[in-house]
Amino acid sequence: MRFPVAPLGQGHRTHMSLPAVHAAQDIAAGAFCHEGESVRPVRIQPERQNGVGFHGPKCSMVNGSPRDGGLAVRVGVDYAGGTPRASPSAGNNPLEEALRIRTEALRRIRCAAVLSAAAVVFTASAGAAQEDLKIYISADMEGVVGTVTGEQLGPSGFEYERARQWMTEEVNAAIRGARAAGATEILVSDSHGNGQNLLLDELPQDVTVIRSWPRPLSMMAGIDDTFDGAIFIGYHTGTDNRAGVRAHTMSSARLTSVKLNGVPVPETGLNAAIAGYFGVPVIMLSGDDAIADEARELLGDLETAVVKKAYGFHSAETLMPKAAYRLIEETAARAVARIADFEPWDLGEPVELEVSFKNYRPVEALGYLEIVERIDSHTIRYTGPDMIAVGDFLTFLLNYDSNAAP
């Protein structure tokens, strides 16, 4: 877990690892507390909202009266101490009492100096911790600006090469926006069609890309609990939705419905549930107006970039590409900036999957598996121990071919 640190006098927020906090406290404990003093434990707020500050160690008397005030650190030293208080008793020598007060004051000065050194540890660690702000981008194509039919969506279409450019630039826009808001590590999943759509030479050369099929967790391959948020680019509505350009879930040719725990879900829902298993929230989505509405209804107040208005399955009113890129960049920056506001969509355990097929025979064959229940002529049910098992089952369902070679 990482803890937010708000530098004094600055409006931005960074994160610091717990080991760094402990290291700084060790410095303080070993250096500024003399005999009769100790480092008093302080409360660390494991929250990521509103720039909660970290208050550092304080000196306190163990066998005597507590000192007035104290010392506090917020990536810098805020000396909040008051005048050392004398506790004279009857018959004390005034000279000895003055020396005692002077000694105590010197200890306070030493305390402040060492806390300044500890603040250096805080600052350096906070800078390093920023490198751990990881964003996962899953990119589809049906929701990309300008795409409306198969002419843009596959290698045989006359506009496919142009649509690949649009898709690549939308991903680039999301990367720029995320980085502007503090993201420093990004993984991109090419999640449409053959999984080989993005133009690698035109992406930033310090990102990594997952391509082609089959692969574990399908459109979310590579995600784990080290990511801070997920962004979905070029997404579309599900097969249960009557609205949306190219509405389908996983396979427009084979499936008519997909449900998780009895709730119809688009690919947005399936992939959000996989991310949610790892504690990763979906923070932003781009696509047409229908998927923006469907995603908000399912996942809550995520950021959305609407790049076209769906008129029908194969028609839309679309922005121009450069306008779409600008909108996506701004939306991604806004999403990452408020990343602490989002919650993972975690379905818990176990997870029930229902899949309905257009054709009869796949359901008949799947019914021979003991782990599969055939609930009607076109629908099967599988209950997995968790969302990862369900994701793997779907990968098998959509990729198994006994004639596959090599």
Domain borders along the chain are 2-129, 133-348
Cα separation of 33 and 389, whole Å? 54
Question: Which residue type is seen at 220?
Answer: M
CA distances from residue 329 to 131, 172, 199 in whole angstroms, order as listed: 20, 8, 18
- In 244-286, which ranges are continuous DSSP H helix? 267-277
Write the pLDDT tens digit of every residue in 213-271: 999 999 999 999 999 999 999 999 999 999 999 999 999 889 999 999 999 999 999 99
* pTM higher than the cut 0.75: no
**Which residues are catalytically annotated?**
248
pLDDT of residue 187: 98
Higher pLDDT, residue 358 or 63: 358
- In 45-159, which ranges are continuous DSSP H helix? 94-129, 150-153
Query: Among the ranges 55-59, 102-106, 352-356, which has the highest mean pLDDT value?
Result: 352-356
> Nearest 5°: phi and psi at 389?
-65, -40
Bridge partners of residue 233, in order along the sequence:
139
Task: Report whether pLDDT(7) > 60.
Answer: no
Write the pLDDT tens digit of every residue in 117-134: 555 555 555 554 456 899
Could you tell me the pLDDT band of residue 31, with boundaries at 50, 70 and 90? very low
Q: Which DSSP letter does residue 207 get?
A: S
Cα separation of 165 and 170, whole Å? 9
pLDDT of residue 123: 52
CATH class for the region spanning 133-348: alpha beta
Q: Which of 195, 164, 176, 193 is nearest to 135 (CA)?
A: 176
Task: Report whether pLDDT(164) > 50.
Answer: yes
Please name the residue that has the structure tokens 């500050």: 53
